[in-house]
């Protein structure tokens, strides 16, 4: 058993370092889709989190509760909902987005936005609200005061971005349902791992798992490094 595990790991490393075209195509699709989704989600989600933390309005607590609930929705439920909307018999079927990268981006945006909103809301709530009120009283424009608050909460916001990216880069259900797991087009790292494991082909699954593990380590070390530098300043 140990020799088989060692052989699988060696085969996985060989796939990674030999430049296997199929493997790197999967990695490229995964990063392209997830980076696009996080970039599209970033500004709107942080803006909503800021407004929920700094502006009082009727029904505010209901909106906060809604985003908290959305954050806990399983990815397969989001995938199923999006599938029904984008299928030929669905209201957006004429757009022909099902089983495409744009559909995967939409699904990952829907998964990412609640995480970013809730974590950015918590980040802004942790700030002294009097700084916002003082800046507005002294005549600072809303955008300038908001940028000041974003700078104050930058480490917590970076943690929110990394958490959102981690959620979407590793999700399986939504990408499988709306992407279709098409090789060289919509097959990303998690869906490829699920497929190869079900086929009993573990080398590629292990190689892709190593990529996700390395990504998790890089993201966490980046956050720890930024936080450490911020504390030293």
Lowest-confidence region among 195-199, 211-215, 226-230 = 226-230
Nearest to 26 by CA among 185, 219, 166: 185
pLDDT 10s digits, 44-100 = 999 999 999 988 889 999 999 999 999 989 999 999 999 999 999 999 999 999 999
What are the angstrom distances between the C-alpha of 177 and each of 18, 165, 171?
Answer: 31, 19, 11
**Greatest Cα-to-Cα distance within the chain, rounded to the nearest angstrom:** 71
Residue 128 has pLDDT above 80, yes or no: no
Give pLDDT tens digits for 171-199: 999 999 999 999 889 999 999 999 988 88
Q: 128-167 burial by CB neighbour count: b if 16+ within 10 A, else e?
A: eeeebeebeeeeeeeeebbeebbebbeebbbbbbbbbbbb
Give CA separation, 67 vs 39, 44, 112, 119, in Å.
19, 14, 11, 10
Share above pLDDT 90 across residues of the chain, in percent, rounded to a whole number: 58
Calpha distance 157→151 (Å, rounded): 9
pTM: 0.90
Among 120-124, 128-132, 168-172, the least confident range: 128-132
d(CA 4, CA 6): 5
Rounded CA separation 161/41 (Å)? 10
Residues with Cβ within 8 Å of 57's Cβ and at least 6 positions away in sequence, in order, are none
Residue-range domains of the chain with CATH:
21-191 (1.10.3720.10)
Distance CA 187, CA 100 (A): 10
For residue 125, which phi and psi values (nearest 5 degrees)?
-65, -30
Find the mean pLDDT for residues 116-121: 95
Confidence of residue 232 (pLDDT cuts 50, 70, 90): very low
């Amino acid at each position: 058993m140990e020799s088989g595990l060692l052989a699988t790991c060696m085969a996985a490393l060989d796939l990674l370092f030999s430049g296997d075209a199929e493997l790197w195509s999967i990695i490229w699709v995964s990063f392209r889709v997830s980076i696009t989704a996080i970039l599209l989600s970033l500004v709107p989600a942080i803006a909503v989190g800021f407004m929920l933390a700094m502006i009082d309005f009727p029904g505010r607590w209901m909106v906060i509760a809604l985003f908290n609930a959305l954050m806990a929705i399983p990815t397969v439920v989001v995938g199923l909902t999006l599938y029904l909307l984008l299928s030929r018999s669905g209201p957006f079927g004429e757009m022909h987005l099902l089983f495409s990268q744009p559909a995967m981006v939409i699904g990952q945006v829907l998964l990412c936005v609640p995480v970013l909103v809730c974590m950015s809301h918590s980040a802004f709530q942790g700030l002294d609200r009097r700084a916002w009120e003082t800046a507005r009283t002294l005549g600072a424009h809303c955008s300038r005061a908001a940028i000041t608050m974003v700078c104050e909460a930058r480490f917590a916001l970076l943690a929110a971005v990394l958490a959102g990216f981690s959620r979407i880069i590793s999700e399986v259900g939504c990408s499988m349902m709306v992407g279709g797991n098409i090789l060289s087009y919509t097959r990303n790292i998690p869906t490829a791992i699920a497929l190869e494991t079900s086929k009993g082909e573990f080398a590629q699954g292990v190689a892709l798992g190593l990529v996700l593990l390395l990504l998790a380590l890089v993201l966490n070390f980046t956050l720890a490094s930024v936080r450490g530098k911020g504390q030293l300043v």
